[in-house]
């Protein structure tokens, strides 16, 4: 049934308030599916490596029917285990490419021992060899042998996607990931390798491992006699924390922590039997459950009855005493 236009417009504000639909799961690429099929095929070869025809006369069977190792029977066993019955895309791909797998198994395996390279890269052309990317499988930045100088990941590496640019590992930067970021220094550099090592935590830039090798100190540190040392913010003339907090210094920083008034030597809650509960920036004093609150104490239930009786006799509520 189609809603009237006015009714549909009335629903619009409600629809706008609904949370956005969750992002759909990322669909596997053709290369990903091909690689998965090859991985399962290779596992099937491992699982059937020690099997035979199972008829009891292996020597006769291998002489007459050819060796089990390269037989169609073994191939069928491998193919049967490639896809779960519920995996539609895997079964669809297997049905479409089964003849290619059979041709590789029976005729091309010795010439092209790497099934992934032959099947996914050269035949189906859905993947690239490691270190190459894009529709034409071009070499990644820095070359296919050591993309991004070994210090990063090549965008699209091994697939028909990406642009071949480098996404550097932590500590590295630059087009080929050969330069060091702030907080790192070059501990090794030659024609083929560049290694960046983390500076001391006190250094923003450095030339070595210690706090005396800093070119510039990090925030929270200051240069003192040739070394970057921690600034004790808590010792400043104007403390950085409020009166209800105490300052705790840390390397390069500090924290403001709440004062627990309930744990101080001088009691915060002075009435007898009273419980103290710390709160952020303050505290509260509360009588236990069942106790009666008076100006001077939290009175237990039994004593509270005596206290109320004393209101009629003029007897004061003294602990341990008796009214007659």
- Dist CA 282 CA 262 (whole Å): 10
251's enclosing H/E stretch is: none
Domain extents in the chain: 60-126, 132-198, 203-258, 267-313
Looking at domain 267-313, its CATH class is mainly beta
In this structure, what DSSP letter does residue 244 have?
T
DSSP string for 151-187: SEEETTTTBS-S---EEEPTTEESTTS-EEPTTEEEE
pLDDT at 17 exceeding the cut of 50: no
What pairs with residue 248 in β-bridges? 255
**Contacts (Cβ under 8 Å, ≥6 apart) of 313:** 323
- Dist CA 295 CA 316 (whole Å): 14
156-201 pLDDT per residue, tens: 999 999 999 999 999 999 999 999 999 999 999 888 899 999 999 9
Question: What confidence score (pLDDT) does residue 280 get?
Answer: 85
**Contacts (Cβ under 8 Å, ≥6 apart) of 11:** 3
CB 78 within 8 Å of CB 109: no
306-317 pLDDT per residue, tens: 555 454 444 555
pLDDT band at 281, cuts 50/70/90? confident
Point out the least confidently predicted range of 21-30, 281-290, 294-303: 21-30
129-155 pLDDT per residue, tens: 999 999 999 999 999 999 999 999 999
The mean pLDDT value of the chain amounts to 84
* Neighbouring C-alpha atoms within 13 Å toward the C-beta of 62: 11
247: left (phi over 0), alpha (psi -120 to 50) or beta: beta
- Dist CA 240 CA 105 (whole Å): 74
pLDDT band at 215, cuts 50/70/90? very high
- Dist CA 149 CA 72 (whole Å): 45
pTM above 0.85, yes or no: no
DSSP string for 208-222: SSSTTSEEEEPTTEE
- Dist CA 229 CA 276 (whole Å): 41
22-75 pLDDT per residue, tens: 444 578 889 999 999 999 999 999 998 877 655 555 555 555 445 778 888 899
């Amino acid at each position: 049934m189609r809603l009237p236009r006015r009714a549909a417009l009335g629903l619009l504000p409600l629809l706008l308030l609904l949370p956005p639909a969750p992002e759909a799961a990322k669909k596997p690429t053709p290369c990903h599916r091909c690689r998965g099929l090859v991985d399962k095929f290779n596992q099937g070869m491992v699982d059937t490596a020690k099997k035979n025809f199972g008829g009891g006369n292996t020597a006769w069977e291998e002489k007459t029917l050819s060796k089990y190792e390269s037989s169609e029977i073994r191939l069928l066993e491998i193919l049967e285990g490639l896809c779960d019955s519920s995996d539609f895309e895997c079964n669809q791909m297997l049905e479409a490419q089964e003849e290619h797998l059979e041709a590789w198994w029976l005729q091309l395996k010795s010439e092209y021992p790497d099934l992934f390279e032959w099947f996914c890269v050269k035949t189906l052309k859905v993947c690239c060899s490691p270190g190459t990317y894009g529709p034409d499988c071009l070499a990644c930045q820095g070359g296919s042998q050591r993309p991004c100088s070994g210090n990063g990941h090549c965008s699209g590496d091994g697939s028909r996607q990406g642009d071949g640019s480098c996404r550097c590992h932590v500590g590295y930067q630059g087009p080929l990931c050969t330069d060091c970021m702030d907080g790192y220094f070059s501990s090794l550099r030659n024609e083929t390798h560049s290694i960046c090592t983390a500076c001391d935590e006190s250094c923003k830039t450095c030339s070595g491992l210690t706090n005396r090798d800093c070119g510039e100190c990090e925030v929270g540190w200051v240069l003192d006699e040739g070394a970057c040392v921690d600034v004790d913010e808590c010792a400043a003339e104007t403390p950085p924390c409020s009166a209800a907090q105490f300052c705790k210094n840390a390397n390069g920083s500090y924290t403001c922590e709440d004062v627990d008034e309930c744990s101080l030597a001088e009691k915060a809650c002075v009435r007898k039997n009273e419980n103290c509960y710390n709160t952020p920036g303050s505290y509260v004093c509360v009588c236990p459950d069942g106790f009666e609150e008076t100006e001077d104490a939290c009175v237990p239930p039994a004593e509270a009855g005596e206290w109320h009786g004393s209101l009629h006799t003029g007897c004061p509520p003294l602990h341990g005493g008796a009214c007659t």
